[in-house]
Structure 1
Amino acid sequence: MSARHPAPKLPAEQLTIAWQSASLLLDYPDEELPSRLELIEGLCHRLPAAVGESLRSTVRDLRSADLATIQQEYVETFDTRRRHNLFLTYFAHGDTRRRGVALLRFKQTYLRSGFVLDDTELPDHLCVVLEYAATVDQRLGWGLLLDHRPGLELLRLALAEAGSRWHGAVEAVTSTLPRLAGDELVAIQRLAAEGPPQEEVGLTPYATPAFDPSTQPPAAAQELPMPTFPGAHR
């Protein structure tokens, strides 16, 4: 792990199971959902009690309704409420120009591992980040999660307040991370009070070829600093 990030407390195998399970639970529910739930439930016993029980709570809640109901609730939960957003950079930057820079930073991180994301999903989607951290590069994925910890915590709190079926999956992820520090608590409090920035200027830098690392070899990609959350200091 880098000098600015503490090392994980859990073994690598447990992090892989926890993050991949959460990624599957937070993905859009389709016809494969029952088999996913069975697989995740079977792996939970290999995790610490707190992490495993958080995942099991989401498994139970997703089993308690039919697929059509789950799909409707998923859209209502994650596509219509700002504080339930699964795109990590949105919490820090909203729809502002700085979010485009943050999205580039995600893509550059993936390229460092030889991981090329297709164009069907933005690179900061929590399911993508968790799958990358679980199956491609645990060290760099750990860093991405920690850099966006305030957004993760705000998502967890918002889902808990709403009594969402998916709260346990996010809680399992945050349970794998270190205890919150003072600056992170300040950032979370500010996000909870003010919400993400709302300047509507688009994501132009992400779509501009001059800034897009996919148009050049990874070694030549322009390194960009990871934007920090408002109120957080490193």
Structure 2
Amino acid sequence: MSPLPSTVPGIVRTRVRAALRRPDRTPRTTPLTPEETERRALLLRLISLLLQYPDADLAAARPVLTASVEALPPSPAAEHLAEFTVWFAGQETDALERHYVERFDLCRRSGLHLTYYLHGDTRRRGMALLTLAQRYRAAGWDTDGGELPDHLPVVLEFAALAGPGRGEAPLRQHRRGIELIHRALTDAGSPYRHVLAALIALLPPPTGADLRAVAELAAEGPPNEDVGLDPYGTYGAGEFAPPGAFVPPDQAPPALVPPSAAHRQEDR
């Protein structure tokens, strides 16, 4: 990958270069050429960046992100990202922030915390978060602790770092949740649907069972547990609990703190 130009804002240089410096200790099982692997990792990193909260620094990096997308070799994923960056580049920062909060922090069916869609507000979610954190540490990667380990941009960065085999395993495991997020964004007419579509284009095609499970999840919501979940709060029947309201169960380690999205909402 060619060096990042000096005009790239510091936040992007830090996020991308730090990722590139981390060793890839996960053996790859997918028969990709080095060029294909590098190209795939770049796509995953771009998707991760575009799904992060569009603060002033990330908004300032839009020209470089747009140019990076335009330089991608033709592919379905690149086409979807190009569709998104046209909108992304033309919005005011305040409008971007509002749209992001509305779609990902406040909308129950398009939050970016993947274990919620698989486990809902049950004790299994705490264990799933712990398992993800352990997977990252085993690969020699430490997150900065700013988000839960199931936050989609975090999962995407790990996939880019660790490679198409074990690195992308969490994405494949949570494919149904990713499909549901894409469906919710599409129903809402959000341009972020293009970013999710780019990710889906990199994943194996959904099976019939996947599609049936997504339809059921959209209709009924994730699993729920009535006993011992007072810290999670009370929500209406059949509603999705906002991801920002999640409090890990007792067995989760102290490092798994609520997502920074909740703090953004308090600050607004």
TM-score (norm 1): 0.79
Which of 88, 95, 119 is equivalent to 2:121? Answer: 95
Counterpart position of 1:125 = 151
Give the secondary-structure state (helix, strand or coil) at the position aligned to 2:117.
helix
Question: Does the C-alpha gap of structure 1 residues 8 and 42 become closer, same or farther in structure 2, counting only changes over 3 Å?
Answer: farther
One-letter amino acid of the structure 2 residue matched with residue 103 of structure 1:
L
Distance 1:42 1:180 in 2: 31
One-letter amino acid of the structure 1 residue matched with residue 78 of structure 2:
G
If asked which structure has higher relative contact order (CA below 8 Å, sep 6+), I would say 1
Q: CA RMSD in A?
A: 2.4
Distance 2:218 2:31 in 1: 26
Contact 1:24 1:36 in 2 (8 A): no
Distance 1:36 1:90 in 2: 31
Q: Are 2:130 and 1:104 aligned? A: yes
Which of 50, 62, 76 is equivalent to 1:50? Answer: 76
Counterpart position of 2:86 = 60
Question: Does the C-alpha gap of structure 1 residues 206 and 153 become closer, same or farther in structure 2, counting only changes over 3 Å?
Answer: farther
Contact 1:132 1:138 in 2 (8 A): no
Which of 37, 43, 46 is equivalent to 2:62? Answer: 37
Distance 1:121 1:179 in 2: 28
Instruction: Name structure 2 gaps, 5 residues minimum.
Output: 1-28, 233-247, 256-268
Q: Are 2:222 and 1:189 aligned? A: no
Greater share of helix: 1
Shift of 1:125: 0.1
Which of 184, 198, 201 is equivalent to 1:172? Answer: 198
Distance 2:104 2:31 in 1: 28
Give the secondary-structure state (helix, strand or coil) at the position aligned to 1:199.
coil
Counterpart mapping for 1:158-169 below 5 A? 158-169=184-195
Q: Are 2:261 and 1:207 aligned? A: no
Give the secondary-structure state (helix, strand or coil) at the position aligned to 2:140.
coil
Contact 1:89 1:102 in 2 (8 A): yes
One-letter amino acid of the structure 1 residue matched with residue 52 of structure 2:
D
Counterpart position of 1:113 = 139
Distance 2:74 2:250 in 1: 41
Shift of 1:46: 2.3
List per-residue Cα deviations over 1:55-88 (Å, max 9, x = no partner).
Answer: 1122111122210111111111111111111000
Shift of 1:108: 1.4
Contact 1:20 1:131 in 2 (8 A): yes
- After TM superposition, which residue ranges in structure 1, 4 or more long, deviate above 6 angstroms? none
Percent identity of paired positions between Structure 1 and Structure 2 = 39
Instruction: Name structure 1 gaps, 5 residues minimum.
Output: 1-5, 213-234
Distance 2:210 2:96 in 1: 33
Q: Are 2:109 and 1:83 aligned? A: yes
One-letter amino acid of the structure 1 residue matched with residue 147 of structure 2:
E
Question: Does the C-alpha gap of structure 1 residues 41 and 206 become closer, same or farther in structure 2, counting only changes over 3 Å?
Answer: farther
Distance 1:19 1:97 in 2: 30
TM-score (norm 2): 0.70
